[in-house]
Structure formats: structure tokens, C-alpha cells
Amino acid sequence: MRLILQRTSGAEVVIDGKVHSRTGRGLFILMGSKTGDSEQSCAFLADKAVNLRIFEDDAGRMNLSALDVGAEIMIVSQFTLYADTRKGRRPGFSEAMEPVEAKRLYDMFVERVAASELVVKTGIFGAKMDVRFNNDGPVTIILDHDL
């Protein structure tokens, strides 16, 4: 399972020209699953995401977590995180998990993050979305978990 975490001053997901969800200061998370990922990956990465110390303290050091700052979190599914671009010019997605199981793990990941009692918003799994966010810092962290 792979996450792209971006510290943000705000994010929104627009679907069919209408705002579906919006968050303030916090994290924007792209989440992708590959064949073989499991519930353990969801639990591990949800815990890591909300506890990773990537927010600045009073001294300007990244020393605070999403939990510490009461971050709002936007989570969007992103199968293209597993694009294979080693051959040719068109990416392949053979490593990406099939949609039914990927949605199950996405929903589980969202539930795990929401269990932190932070505000959690999402896109719609499989929908064409216009995703907008302001990367604060910029801070972008890639998290992988392979069992």
C-alpha cells in the first residue's frame, strides 16, 4: 500500500462541477493499493499518517503530528500510484489492486483514520475528480507498506 501525504492549508474535491468535500489545515492523502495488500497495511499506515510528526512546533521544527494540531484530513483513492513506467510510454497498472478489493481497503483505511477522531473527508472511489489543495511548506512524504 502506498500513501502520498501532503501537508496542506486546505483541500477540496470537486465532482461534476460541485464541491463534494472540503478541508482546512491538515493532510491531503492519496492512497493506492496493490495486489497483495491487506488489512494490516491499512492499520499500519493509518496509524503512521496521523502520528507522523510533520507539522511545525513553536520553534519551527517538524515535531507535531496531525493529532497534535487537530488536523483535518482529505483522503482520495489513487490507483495510479502503482503505475509501471519502466517500458514504453504508456503506464501499465498490473500491480494496482482490482477495484472491488481496493475499495474495501480504501474504506477500511478511511475508517481507521477517522477512528483518530480527526475530521476526515474523502473523494468518491473510482470517480473522476477535480482535486485542489495548497501544499503547505511544501511538505510531501511517501509512505509504503509491503507485507
What is the torsion angle, in degrees rounded to the nearest 10, for the CA atoms of residue 115, residue 120, residue 126 and residue 127?
Answer: 160
For the chain, give percent helix, strand, coil, nearest 5.
Answer: 25, 40, 35
Q: How many helices (H) and strands (E) does the chain have?
A: 3, 8
Superfamily in which the 2-133 domain is placed by CATH? D-tyrosyl-tRNA(Tyr) deacylase (3.50.80.10)
Task: Specify the pLDDT at position 146.
Answer: 80
Q: Is 40 a catalytic residue?
A: no
Task: Choose, from 6, 8, 23, 78, the residue flagged as catalytic.
Answer: 78
As a whole number of angstroms, the distance between CA 74 and CA 110 comes to: 9
Q: Where are the domains of the chain?
A: 2-133
Residue 49: its H or E element = helix 39-51
pLDDT in tens, 73-131: 999 999 999 999 999 999 999 999 999 999 999 999 999 999 999 999 999 999 999 99
Task: Choose, from 35, 40, 80, 140, the residue flagged as catalytic.
Answer: 80
Q: Taking all residues of the chain, what is their mean pLDDT, rounded to a whole number?
A: 95
Q: 19: which DSSP letter?
A: E
Q: Is 80 a catalytic residue?
A: yes
Specify the pTM. Answer: 0.94
Task: Choose, from 79, 109, 122, 133, the residue flagged as catalytic.
Answer: 79
